Structures are given as structure tokens and as C-alpha cells.
Amino acid sequence: MTLRFHRVSFGYSPDRPVIQDFSTDIGPGRPTLIIGNSGCGKSTLAKLASGLYMPDNGHIVANDSDLAEHEARSVRQTIAYLPQEADLFSGSIRDNLLMAKPDATDMEIARALAGSASTFVADLPNGIHTEVGEAGGHLSGGQRQRIALARALLQDPKALILDEPTSSLDPGSAHLIIKTLKMLAKDKTLVVISHDPKLFDKDPVGVIDLNPPRTQSGGRK
């Protein structure tokens, strides 16, 4: 899937645009990093890309189809967005994963967990049947983030957009997540918001720097 932004503008009030006249193409093959200072519009751009927000002007097109012409549910089936604060609900880890694919097999669940969370889940007394508590309160922030990523992997979207996916993780867990994201980027559109422009080390990435003057490097223009 290729996400195409064509002269997109968006603001939370008419006189204060956050994103203005923004154009770019983002596709599979390598990760695309969105970087910039706090308040520059990184999360706003991610929500636009995932269809959670609609632009005030311009168009966002996914595989030649304007996102504005589709129902939100349809967009979320093909474009997954993971906010910095993972969204879990009361129930077991398994229950939360099955929200992405209710008919998932045990093998599919295990495969999704392997990319982000299998180690810590296996160490829990009740494993995948562990109750996470209200809003995932029985888990740490990093554990919630890893379960949310596993849920997105189970969904198998065509595009995956992540907001600071390693911010709550220890170095070992962060390394596992980055390795998984590199593999996903080979055939999925992968957009990652990060304060760290070297998140993927020396691997080739597209970079959208929202700090003024806005710049792009290594991406599709």
C-alpha cells in the first residue's frame, strides 16, 4: 500500500494550521520516520495517515482511493495506528489480541506474540490468559505497548503507523521491536514517529522532518 498526501492541510482551529500544504508518498520497502520537536505535528500527521482525522484541505490517498470516501471501520482494517499510550481493555491478553481477529488460530496468535511479546507473556503465571485489568493497568507501560503491537501484527494490516513504539521499553525489548519493524517494512507501509532519527541505526529509511523548514530525505517525493 502506498499512502499519498497531496497538499494536505489540517488545524484544530481555522486560524492555527498544524499541517500546511504537505505532500509526500509513503510506501513499503523501508521504514519512514517522522521526526521533529514537540508540537510540530508528528502525531497529527500520523492520525491523518490512519484516517482518524480528515484534512481540511487536500487529499490522502491509499492505493488510488481517497481515505475520505471510506468508512472509518474500513480504513482501520487496512491501516493500523498504535498510539504512544497503548489502548487495552479489561480482560485477558488473549481477549485483547482477538479484538484484531476474532477467528485467529492459536498458531496465528503465537506468531503475532513472537514479534513483540512472547517472552514476557510466557513468564506470566497464567500466560496468555492473564487478566490485564482496567485499561491494562495490571501491566507496565512497556508490556501494554508490546501487547498492542502483537494485536496489530495479528490484524495483518497493509500499513502500520506507530507513535514512539520504543519509548516505554527496556533496551532488550526495544531491540526486538525494531527488528520486527524492519522485517514488516519489507512488504508493508511502515510509519514510525520518533524523537530519535537513528532509531533504525544504519538501515535505509525515509525521513520526514517536520521542524521548520520541513524536509524529507530518502523517501518518495
Q: Which of 4, 2, 6, 45 is nearest to 193 (CA)?
A: 45
Q: Which of 5, 111, 119 is nearest to 58 (CA)?
A: 5
Catalytic residue among 69, 71, 108, 164: 164
Q: Any catalytic annotation for residue 164?
A: yes
Helices (H), 8-124: 42-49, 72-78, 93-98, 106-114, 118-123
> Residue 69: exposed, middle, or buried by beta-carbon count in 10 A (0-12, 13-18, 19+)?
exposed
Residue for grid cell 510466557: 122
How far apart, in whole angstroms, are the C-alpha atoms of residue 143 and residue 170? 10
| Dihedral-angle region of residue 26 (phi above 0 means left; psi in -120 to 50 means alpha; beta otherwise) | beta
Packing angle of the helix pair 141-155, 171-184 (nearest 10 deg): 20
* 3-class secondary structure, 151: helix
| Dihedral-angle region of residue 41 (phi above 0 means left; psi in -120 to 50 means alpha; beta otherwise) | left
Active site residues: 164
